[in-house]
Copies of this chain bind each other. A is one copy, B any other.
Amino acid sequence: MQNFRFICPTDFIFGKDTENSVGEEIKKYGKRILLHYGGGHIKKNGLYDRIIRSLKANEIEYVELGGVKANPDVEMVREGIRLCREEKLDFILAAGGGSVIDSAKAIAMGVSYPGDVWDFFVGKAQIEEALPVGVILTIPATGSEASNTTVVTNSEGGHSKRAASGDNIKPVFAIMNPELTYSLPAYQTAAGGVDIFSHVAERYFTLEPDCGFTDRLCEATMKTVIGCLPEVLSHPQEYAGRAEIMWTGTIAHNGILGVGRSEDWGSHMLGHEITAFYGLTHGATLSIIIPNWMEYVYKTDVTRFVKYAVNVWNVENNMDHPEKTALEGIRRTRDFFRSVGMPVTLEEAGIDGDRIEEMAENCTKYGPVGGFVTLRKEDCMAIYEKSK
């Protein structure tokens, strides 16, 4: 186990009706807030009204910035930063899914930075301070409600979807009411589930040999997603399954499953390019890439892929032919993604693959990617080709 530092200070307020306490929670941190959200969904389902009621009851002033789209754009982040400065706001409430939260985090870290916020995403600046961000989560997927990361898209001068990280952008609280996810469409639910699963897989495939405890916690989390996601798709209004998926999303990405080990993240990098070039949903890029990435890299550590197959997928271990065990685990991964309605090839997602070289070029623009296996441009091309 490598030396590590881990902190997750987020205050989780989980369960039915918890959004009604949002004003009370915010009061501990600020008085004038940016209320940040996406499309009209929170207005249709009543969440917006409940938030406003709670803000007013607690005498919290608010400025609104709605309209965040999937794969939040740096332009809106800049607009948020401008608003926070002009209106002297001291807190950001993100009411939505990962895109809204990521946009809020990026705004939070940009307010006191004199340069352009995109600097953080290309390694030109480190996050020194940030406004506190609170969350009301409506889509379990990205784990952004407790992660130290934000992913933002920049369309200027080509396509770019990049991440920035820092412990001081971890949300101060996350209000998580599983009932708010009852109305999520099946596709979005499944895409979220794949994203959660992949956050664990990116950590599970590590070069670190002595981290059996965290491996077990990873396996427990992946098995829960495998068990619960089909349940939730069949019974979208059942609390138990929605609650399990919501909490796995947090544990998968708050950092606890990555302590003391190297992580990979190659599949995310490959997936981000597909989104940047074709606009495909994040979870759908992962359901395509992950099994292909696995098949491309498994020979570098067959033993770990055997462990994955046996402990996560209950594959019977073929001791004489461990590679067969490993491949069966990968096959079941792909079958699972397909079974919940997600694409497993680029073609199924309506993508022809003409821009594979461009994507591979862009993916490795700042150097090779991946911590478990290092992927250079030609590796990225090969994985995209396999994914056609």
Question: Which of A's residues lie within 8 Å of B, judged by CB?
Answer: 1-16, 18, 210, 212-214, 216-217, 219-221, 223-224, 227-228, 239-240, 243-244, 247-248, 251, 256, 259-260
Contact = CB atoms under 8 A, between A and B. Distances in A.
Nearest to A4: B14
B7 A15 contact: no
Given A213-B247, A240-B210, A14 B5 contact: yes
A244 B15 contact: no
A167 to B, nearest CB: 9
A10 B7 contact: yes
Contacts of A8: 8
Given A213-B221, A224-B213, A259 B247 contact: yes
Contacts of A239: 1, 210
A220 B227 contact: no
A12 B5 contact: yes
A312 to B, nearest CB: 11
A228 to B, nearest CB: 8
B240 A1 contact: yes
Contact of A220 (B1, B213, B248): B213
A11 B1 contact: no
Contacts of A5: 11-14
Contacts of A210: 239-240, 243-244
Contacts of A13: 5
Nearest to A3: B15
A279 B302 CA distance: 51
A316 to B, nearest CB: 15
Contact of A14 (B6, B10, B240): B6
Contacts of A7: 9-12
Contacts of A216: 220-221, 223-224
17 contacts: A7-B12, A9-B9, A12-B259, A212-B228, A212-B244, A213-B220, A213-B228, A213-B244, A213-B248, A214-B247, A216-B220, A217-B217, A217-B251, A219-B220, A220-B220, A247-B259, A247-B260
B212 A224 contact: yes
A14 B213 CA distance: 15
Contacts of A256: 256
Contacts of A15: 1-4, 260
Contact of A243 (B1, B12, B16, B220): B1
A13 B6 CA distance: 7
Given A212-B227, A216-B223, 12 more contacts: A1-B243, A3-B14, A4-B15, A7-B9, A9-B9, A12-B259, A15-B260, A210-B243, A213-B220, A216-B220, A217-B220, A247-B259
A313 to B, nearest CB: 15
Nearest to A16: B3
A11 B8 CA distance: 8
A111 B4 CA distance: 33
A244 B14 contact: no
A259 B254 CA distance: 16
- What 9 pairs between A and B have smallest CB-CB spacing? A3-B15, A216-B220, A210-B240, A9-B9, A213-B224, A7-B11, A1-B243, A6-B12, A220-B220
A270 to B, nearest CB: 28
Contacts of A220: 213, 216-217, 219-220
A244 B220 CA distance: 17
Nearest to A218: B220
A235 to B, nearest CB: 12
